[in-house]
Amino acid sequence: MYVIGKGGFGTVYHAYWPLKKKCTAFKSTCKFGGKREIQVLNYFNNLGKLNPNENKYVAEMYGYVELKEKIVIALELGQNNLRGYYLKNILKSNNRYLFSTKLLKGAAKALEQFHKHGIHLDIKADNFIISQEQNEGDN
């Protein structure tokens, strides 16, 4: 397990979950912020069961555990965040305009989808993850 992100609301780790046999993002956060985040993620998980397109751009929550002073949330692990994807793919591309436009459209769709149902309090490039599906041209 190693740190892949830090912010005002907690620390995110890359971890392997043996029971699920997959890599996940484990987010360690304070109880107050964590409880609210769990409510929002549960809402999107349930919304996705009714209509898969309604949570298409929100990371799936696999589960969580409440500890004495914090909450740990197991989340879908994206391939890269927006900043990493930009540095790795777009700066090396011959067609930066096309890739940048695609990336910004995907970020806008994610914000639009999320803000239909809630408010994200920590919008920054590191908090946008690129899934394999989006990387292959889903935007």
Q: Which residue segments constitute the domains of the chain, with CATH numbers given?
A: 1-77 (3.30.200.20), 78-139 (no CATH)
- Which residue, chain included where needed, has tokens 């209509």? 51
pTM for the full predicted model: 0.66
Q: What is the mean pLDDT of residues 116-134?
A: 64
SS3 87: helix
Distances (CA, A) of 41 to 70, 74, 100, 102, 130: 17, 11, 28, 26, 18
Q: Provide the annotated binding site for ATP.
A: 27
Give me the pLDDT at residue 84, please.
67
Closest by CA to 72, choosing from 42, 37, 34, 40, is 34
b/e string for 2-18 if b means 16 or more Cβ within 10 A?
eebbeeebbebbebeee
pLDDT of residue 139: 47
User: Which pLDDT score is estimated for 5?
Assistant: 80
Q: How far apart are CA 79 and CA 69, in angstroms?
A: 30
For 14-30, what is each residue's pLDDT tens digit?
A: 898 888 788 888 889 88
CB-based contacts of 38, cutoff 8 Å, min separation 6: 61, 64, 71, 73
Q: What is the pLDDT of residues 39-50, one digit of tens each?
A: 777 777 777 677
Between 32 and 27, the higher pLDDT residue: 27
With a pLDDT cut of 70, the percent of the chain lying above it is: 68
Nearest-angstrom CA–CA distance, 121 and 37: 10
More confident residue, 5 or 72: 72
DSSP reduced 3-state for 1: coil
- The binding site comprises 27
Q: Report which secondary-structure segment, H or E, holds 54.
A: none
